[in-house]
Amino acid sequence: MNADTLLALFGHFLAMSMLAIGGALATTPDVHRYLVDERAWLTDAQFSAGIAIAQAAPGPNLLFVPVLGFAVAGLPGAFVSLAGMLIPSTALALAASRWGGRRRETRFVRAFVAGLAPVTVGLLLASATLLAAPYSRSASALGVVAVAALLSWRTKASPVWLIAAGAAVGALGWV
C-alpha cells in the first residue's frame, strides 16, 4: 500500500478530529471534499455507502471514518484513519478531564457551548444535504430521505430498522 496515501489519510483525519465539534458526522462535508472531490479516491456512491454502513452497524457513529479509510486503502487505511480521528480528541478529552470538572462552568466554557451549538446544528444539516445531493435526480429517493428524516425525528423508530427498510426498498429497485 502506498505510504503517501496512508500518511495523507492520517493527516486529513487528524485535522478533522479538531473540527469535530458536535460529533464526527458533522465533519462529513470536509471529508467528502477531500476523499471524493480533491483526491478522487472514492466515488459519491462509495462515500454514501460507507456512511450508510457505519450508521447501520452497532457502535459509535465515528466508525464511518475507518470504513471510508478501508474503502480507500484497505485495512491499513482503516487503521490510520481511525488513529488520526482519535489521537487529538482523545488527548484533549484526557487533558480537559484532568483540568477538572470544577472549572466546567467557567464563562469561557459556557460561551463555547452556547456559541457553537448553532454551528453544530448547521453542520449536521449541511452534512445531510451533502449526503442527499446524489439522490436529487430521483423523486422516489428524495422521498425515502424525507420519510426517514420524519420518522427518525418524530417517532422513536430505531435507526437500524429504518436503514434495514431503506435497504429493502433499495433492493427492490425503488430508490
> Should residue 51 be labelled a site residue for another protein when binding is judged by CB under 8 A?
yes
> Should residue 76 be labelled a site residue for another protein when binding is judged by CB under 8 A?
no
> Should residue 110 be labelled a site residue for another protein when binding is judged by CB under 8 A?
yes
d(CA 90, CA 94): 6
> Out of 6, 8, 14, 25, which residue is the one contacting another protein (CB under 8 A)?
25
Q: In angstroms, what is the minimal distance from the CB of 9 to another protein? A: 15
Whichever of 5 and 124 has its CB closer to another protein, that residue is 124
d(CA 17, CA 143): 33
Whichever of 2 and 103 has its CB closer to another protein, that residue is 103
Whichever of 5 and 89 has its CB closer to another protein, that residue is 89
With CB under 8 A as the rule, give the number of residues binding another protein. 106
User: Within 135-164, which residues bind another protein (CB under 8 A)?
Assistant: 135, 141-142, 144-153, 159, 162-163
Tracing cell 459519491 back to the chain, one arrives at: 44
Answer whether 66's CB lies under 8 Å from 81's CB: yes
CB atoms within 10 A of CB 132: 16
Across 87-113, b (16+ Cβ under 10 Å) vs e yields: ebbeeeeeeeeeeeeeeeeeeeeeeee
Q: What angle do CA 56, 58, 60 make, to 5 degrees?
A: 100
Kindly write out the interface string for residues 86-105 of this chain, putting x where it contacts another protein by CB under 8 A and - elsewhere: x-xxx-xxx-xxx--x--x-
Whichever of 1 and 167 has its CB closer to another protein, that residue is 167
